[in-house]
Amino acid sequence: MNISIIGTGYVGLVSGVGLAQKGHDVICIDKDRGKVDSINSAVPPIFERGLEPILGRLVDDDKLTATTDTVEAVKKTDITFICVGTPSSSDGSIDTSFLESATKDLSQGLIGKKSYHVVCVKSTVVPGTTENIVLPILEDAGLELGKDFGLGMNPEFLREGVALDDFMMPDRIVIGGGDQKTKEILAKVYEGFDSPIMLTAIKSAEMIKYASNSLLATKISYANEISRMCEKVGIDVYEVMDGVGMDHRINRDFLDAGVGFGGSCFPKDLKALVNFSRSIGINPRILESVIKVNERQPIHAVNLLEDMVGRLSGKKIAILGLAFKGETDDVRESRAIPMARELLRRGAKIVGYDPKASDNFLKEVENMEFADSVEDALTGSEGCIIQTDWDEFKSLTEPDFLVMRTPNVLDGRRVLDSDDFSQVRYRTIGR
């Protein structure tokens, strides 16, 4: 099938590459000429494991191209997926301005188009957005639903760092459609995928994404809440969660205690769902608590480190990992941001290191230094917080930390083993 995708961020580009791998002809659309040129040169504008060589092959085979011309791309294709950002507004609600702009642009490509075209939202939007915002824009352009176009919603469930694997081997594919014809066309897009396909209403598809992310975030905050108790009474929270996770009704995934969750999805989606819930007269107490627990975890990590090294003022502290997780350069809502700000507030001198995300972190926190390697970050420091689970950090051994002035290590992601240390003072959250 001929598919156009508006937006070349993590969702849009990964989706485009995944669909092109399955044999579809894909045109990626972005207003940023630099991103478009980069994609057409087979250089991903984002870092995602395994993406570059596959993109190169698809570009060479003319299965995937990129353009800034939305109208022309839509005219050449049968389906358009909207994959633009829906960032948080100041009150936690989603900002739909990018979605509205993309819809207006694509509507111009549909005017005069003789063939039926499916417009499918992939961006994360609260229930009612597709039908209350996207649909009226298309209709205002003189287009008729069911005749000129079909309307759908196909949420993504991608984890940055392993997004391509998640797209190619999803647990499920959720397709929301306003009519049976649209559902059948979108289902055909995914015929080559060995995954169950759920066909549902548009609003249900929108809510499934929020409900899924909120539940996963709840599991993380729950584990962090239990970890506080474990720290007080001498129990290892990971051992506790291993036992809890053996229950098939619960599952072990997302029960690791640590410095909290970040990224472009969980924090934003929780705030949006809280705002949406309040707007319809419901007090979302559980979700509000999940957010509060997550906000205090980075501060809790700083408190634990201060217990180890003493008063932080004037001391050099290394933060290993600036992205919100390993295997990505994305620093959105990274727990390193509030952590660094709290360390600075207490007078510490911070040096940060990340294999991929240092450049993106530069604009997030002022008055901190950046190292080119783990060794440079650790040398002369009096404390260290491991904030992400990069493989590079998992391979660290005791001699690596002995370049520190005082080797105090707080492992915020449980990437190392305390049994491996005799000269390093090592501590993890939840133990």
Active-site residues: which are they? 265
By C-alpha distance, which of 244, 13, 37 is closest to 122?
13
Give the Cα separation of 219 and 224 in Å (integer): 9
Q: Please name which of 250, 258, 270 lies closest in space to residue 224, comparing C-alpha atoms.
A: 258
Element (H, E) at 120: strand 117-121
The rounded radius of gyration (Å) of the Cα atoms in the chain is: 23
**Cα–Cα distance for residue pair 55/401, rounded to 1 Å:** 38
What DSSP letter does each residue of 59-112 carry, written as one string?
A: HHTTSEEEES-HHHHHHH-SEEEE-----B-TTS-B--HHHHHHHHHHHHHHTT
Tally the C-alpha atoms within 13 A of residue 335's C-alpha that lie toward its C-beta: 28
Place of tokens 């080119």: 372
Give the tokens for residue 126.
């609260």
- β-partners of residue 363 are none
Nearest to 66 by CA among 99, 38, 103, 107: 38
Percentages (nearest 5) of helix, strand, coil residues in the chain = 45, 15, 40
Q: How far apart, in Å, do the first and last CA atoms of the chain sit?
A: 53
Give dist(CA 38, CA 53) in Å, integer: 14
Q: Determine the residue type at 139.
A: E
